[in-house]
Each structure stands twice: as structure tokens, then as C-alpha cells.
Chain A
Amino acid sequence: MILVLVDHDRGELDQLSLRALTAARKLGQDVEAIVIGKEGTALAGIVGEYGAKVLHVASHTNLTVSAFSCFS
């Protein structure tokens, strides 16, 4: 299985992540995606369209935009 870390800014996908997902698909294994921050849940549609079967969302009170403490 290939796990692709997709990046986003407050729930808006970084377009480079679509290239990473495409590259991952070409390796011929199942592709899943992981995103940091609950806002990443919004990306399920687009990462699915680009071939990820599962989107793992690392969700934590200190990993949100509003908490503003670690990543943003």
C-alpha cells in the first residue's frame, strides 16, 4: 500500500498533492491518503477522485487552525 501525505491550507488542497497522488497510483498498489488536521476531512472527494481509497485524518485539538499552536 502507498500512503500519500496530502497537504492543505485550512481545508483547501495544495494542488501539488494531486501530482503526488497520480505518481503514487503509477506504482501499481492501493493508494491511501493521510492529512493532518480535522479540516482535511473536506478533501475526501478530491483525493478519492485522484485514486485514494481511504483518507486518514490526523485529528487533534492541537492540530487545528483555531488552536494555532502547532501546525496551521
Chain B
Amino acid sequence: MAAECSEITLGSPHHVLRARWAGNLIESANVHADLLIASVLAFSTEPESANGSAATVTEFEPALEPQDYAVKVLSRDAGESKGGVTLNDAKVIVSGGRGVGGPDGFGQIEELANLLGGTVGCSRVVTSSGWRPHAEQVGQTGTKVAPDLYIAAGISGAMQHIAGMKNSKTIVVINTDPEAPILSYADYAIIGDLHQVIPALTSAIRQAKG
């Protein structure tokens, strides 16, 4: 089993390039096996239609034993993002972190996200504090995203968060700390308080939109 492969070459042995250490390292590895089981690194391949016709469906009944039911769904908490667009589908994501200060602070994040036709994301500290639902968490234990535009406000940039958003095409960082680790991934950075920057940004966008 080779997880998070960005490149696979079948052969004897098979060869893979795979992400290790939350994507900070690309490992080149040979896999000595007849059958290669691999997972694909989430955003290493753009989806391209083959214009194929519908697949032929063959249904089969797997043999399941009682011990196979190790996982039970006790309840479902969809925790839907309020934006309507899911993180995976969003072209624009406005993410807030600890710097937002609390659940109320996300009002301005939501406003900016809506204005840009995007959706809200957040860091782990935000979901573990119960400010936002887990469905909005970006990162290694949340959703890995690669939107056209990722705005990170008040997020210092733990490695696990970076792993979930560094493939974004354009990254804008708003942070009071000029030393925040996330800045090394920023295409544009605004060193300032998001509570001032975001309202200013929102009103400027409103004006530009007329």
C-alpha cells in the first residue's frame, strides 16, 4: 500500500512518488508487489473527462461477517457549511483562525466569502474551540483544498494546516505577526489586524462591484 502518490509508474517493481510528512517531503519509492494498492495525492491530478459512455454496472454481494461491522454510524452531523459551496468545490475560500477571536468574529469572514462567491474555512483551533463546524476545517485532519484563491486570516500556519491549503493557486495572508510561518506560503501578505483589514477589504470590493 502506497498512500498519497503524486506519480505512479507500473512495472516490476512499481515506482511511486509519494507525499510524506504532511507533504513536506516527496519520497521516491519502489513497490515490490504484483498488486499495487495506492491512494492518489488529492490535488496532484486535474479531473479530465474522457467523454466515455456510461459504465456497465455489475452488482455483487460481498460476504460480510459480524466482525466486519467494527464501525457503526451512531448519528450523522452533516455540519454543513453555511456558504452552500463545499470546501472541495469552492473556487474561493476565506479561512479564519485563532486571530478571529471567537464565533462572532466569523460574521465578517462569512461576509467576505459570500461577496467573493466563496465559502468559509477555518483552522483546527477554531473547530476544537467549537466556533465553527468540523466540515469547515482545512488541514490534515480536515479537508485538503486547492481553490483559486485562499485567504488566511488570523491563521499562524501550523504544518497540518499548511498541508491542507498549500496547493491553492493564490494565497493571501492577513496576520498581525510578520513572523507567522504561513507567510512563507503567501503570494500576497497584509501585516495587520484582520478586524480592520477585512472590513476595509469588504467595503472596497463592494465599491468596485458598484
Contacts and interface: CB of A to CB of B under 8 A. Distances in A.
A57 B46 contact: no
Contacts of B42: 16, 19
Interface in B40-95: 40, 42-62, 64, 68-69, 71-73, 76, 88-89
A62 B60 contact: no
A20 B40 contact: yes
Contacts, number: 107
B58 A48 contact: no
Contacts of B89: 15
B59 A38 contact: yes
A15 B48 contact: no
Contacts of B116: none
Interface residues of A, number: 41
Contact of B88 (A16, A33, A71): A16
A44 B55 contact: yes
Contact of A23 (B44, B57, B61, B62): B44
Interface string A9-32: 000001110111111011111001
Given A23-B40, A58-B60, A15 B88 contact: yes
Given A19-B46, A57-B59, A48 B52 contact: yes
A38 B8 CA distance: 30
Interface of B: 8, 10, 40, 42-62, 64, 68-69, 71-73, 76, 88-89
